[in-house]
Amino acid sequence: MKFGIDKSFGVFAHFTPPLSRGLIALSHAVQRFRPKFPSSVGYKRVTAGGCPAVLVSPKGAEENLPCLIYFHGGGFVFRAGGYHFANAAQYCTGARCKVLFVDYPLAPKASLSRIASACLSAYGEVIERAEEWGIDLSRIAVGGDSAGGFLAADVILRARARKLSLPCFAMLIYPVLDRRMVTPSMKEFTDTPMWNARLNKKMWTYCRPDFPSPAEAEDVSFFPPAYIETAQFDCLKDEGENFAARLKEQGVSVQYNATNGTMHGFDIARKSPITRAAVAARTVALKRAFYPSK
C-alpha cells in the first residue's frame, strides 16, 4: 500500500469516489433523505431553517436535554450516508443529548452562500424552538465532518456577526476550513483514497465560494471550546491542525485528536478499532461539554 493506512479500513483504503457532474446529478435524482437509526434512539422529522431535518433523542429521555446540531460531510454535493446516522445515534446515547441532523441544500445547484445561509437559519430555528423541541438553550453545540465541519465553523462566525447566542461547543471532524488550498498536506496528498487535493479542487468549483473560509477569519477568540479531529493521510489534515492551533493561540480551549493510520472519511468503516476509538473520543468530548460537573 502506498500510504500507511491501517488494514482495518479494508476496501475503503483503496477507494476514491468519482466527483463528476454526471454522478452528482444522478445521486441527486435517486438519493433521498432517508435516515435510519438503531432502536436505541427515537427520532422525528422536522424542518429547521427551511431544511428537512431529523431530531434524534435517546429512548425514554427527559426533556430539556442538550443538543448537537450536526452538518454531515459529502463535499457539499452528496447527501448523508448510513455511517453518519450511526455516528449521530452514538453521540445521542453516549452523550445523553439530542441531535438535530440537517439535510441542507447541495451544490452545484445551490451555491455555498445559500448552503451556509440555510445552516445558519437551521441554527437560529433551534434557538427559537428550543423549548418546543425539549432542548436546553444553554447547551447547544454545533458539529460536522468534512464539508459539514466548514458549515459548523461558519455558523459560529455568522452567529457572532448577527449577534445571535453562540453554541457552547464545536465538534469539527477532519474539517474543510480553507478555500485557498495552500497547506503542505494539500500539496502532498493529491492521490490519497476517499479524498484528495484533486477532488478538493473540484469541490470548490462546484460550490462557488464567494466569502472567506473559517481559516481566513482573523479573530476566532470568541469560539466555544472545541474538539477537532484530523486524519493522517488527508489533504485536509493541516487545515484542521492549523485551525486548532489558532484557536489555542487566541485562548480557546481545544482538544485536538490527530488520528494515525487514517484517511479522510475513515469512520465509514464502522468496525475498525480506530473508528470505534475516534467516535468514542468525540462522544466523551461532547458529554464533558454538556455535563461538565459529571
Q: What is the CATH number of the domain that holds 285?
A: 3.40.50.1820
pLDDT of the residue at 34: 75
Instruction: Decide if 1 is inside a domain.
Output: no
pLDDT at 2: 78
Instruction: Give 122-128's long-range contacts (Cβ < 8 A, gap of 24+).
Output: 122/48, 122/49, 122/50, 122/51, 122/53, 122/69, 123/49, 123/69, 123/155, 123/159, 123/164, 123/167, 124/49, 124/159, 124/164, 125/48, 125/49, 126/48, 126/67, 126/69, 126/100, 127/164, 127/165
With a cut of 50, which residues of the chain have pLDDT below it? 1
Output the pLDDT for position 161.
98
Determine the pLDDT at residue 287: 98
For the chain, the domain total comes to 1
Position 282 in a domain: yes
What pLDDT does 21 receive? Answer: 86
107, part of any domain: yes
Does 55 fall in a domain?
yes
Residue 294: the pLDDT is 67
What pLDDT is stored for residue 72 in this prediction? 98
Domain residues for 41? 7-290
Reported pTM: 0.96
